[in-house]
Amino acid sequence: NAGVTQTPKFQVLKTGQSMTLQCAQDMNHNSMYWYRQDPGMGLRLIYYSASEGTTDKGEVPNGYNVSRLNKREFSLRLESAAPSQTSVYFCASTEGGVTEAFFGQGTRLTVV
Amino acid sequence: EDQVTQSPEALRLQEGESSSLNCSYTVSGLRGLFWYRQDPGKGPEFLFTLYSAGEEKEKERLKATLTKKESFLHITAPKPEDSATYLCAVRIAGSARQLTFGSGTQLTVLP
């Protein structure tokens, strides 16, 4: 079982460049999430999709956009990357209700 | 304001030296408390879910407990392979299923 798959694993961008982080899950989960992880800050929610066709802002949405392409896929887009967006990004999914989240392996993004 | 605080930030133990990690929370309506393990360069891996005060869960050398204000992750006779960062997260009523995380405890178990 692949679970939650993220691509790419590593990326270096120049300030102002754009890119899309891809996430796919094969567990037929309804809800998907994007988090960022910074040293000493814990995981912070950027955007989430409670179900196919819906997306909502989390704690730190500025500078990001998302697309729930279908039930399996949830992408995160940086339109104009800034050094403050240097972080490790994690995608996660849940079946629904009060259940545990399953995480991908992360994308380490550096913006120079 | 909803808060999740983990302590200590870092913990070094000798192999076999039991200890506990703490996760204290102040939230308006707990709908679940989750413990995760995270290895360097990897995503968080689910360990336990606790739903109500007094609940306990066990897995190998790990035991998680929950009160109305905090959760403990007890590690009994740890081994070097238990070295990791342990994350605590809560799901809050009306939060549309997202998790609020603490900043984690980095555990190192020395042989």
Spatial distance between the Cα atoms of B68 and B73, rounded to a whole number of angstroms: 15
Residue B97's pLDDT band (boundaries 50, 70, 90)?
low
Strands annotated E in chain B: 3-7, 10-14, 19-26, 30-38, 45-50, 56-59, 62-66, 70-75, 84-92, 99-101, 105-110
- CB-nearest to A94 from B43, B45, B97 is B97
B87–A42 C-beta distance less than 8 A: yes
With CA atoms as reference, the chain A residue closest to B40 would be A105
Closest Cα to residue A90, out of B91, B101, B53? B101
Backbone dihedral angles phi then psi of residue B40, each to the nearest 5 degrees? -55, 130
Given a cut of 90, is residue A87 above it in pLDDT? Answer: yes
Neighbours of B109 (CB within 10 A): 21
User: Mutation test of the interface with chain A: which of B2, B23, B38, B99, choosing the one with the most A Cβ atoms within 10 A?
Assistant: B99
Spatial distance between the Cα atoms of B106 and B108, rounded to a whole number of angstroms: 7
Beta-carbon contacts of A6 under 8 Å, excluding residues fewer than 6 positions away, are: A21, A22, A23, A89, A90, A91, A104, A105, A106, A107
Spatial distance between the Cα atoms of B86 and A18, rounded to a whole number of angstroms: 33
Given a cut of 80, is residue A96 above it in pLDDT? Answer: no
Q: Are A78 and A85 in contact (CB under 8 A)?
A: yes
B49–A100 C-beta distance less than 8 A: yes
Residue A70's pLDDT band (boundaries 50, 70, 90)?
very high
Largest CA distance in chain B: 45
pLDDT for residue A97:
60
Spatial distance between the Cα atoms of A104 and B51, rounded to a whole number of angstroms: 24
Backbone dihedral angles phi then psi of residue B82, each to the nearest 5 degrees? -80, -5
Residue A103's pLDDT band (boundaries 50, 70, 90)?
very high
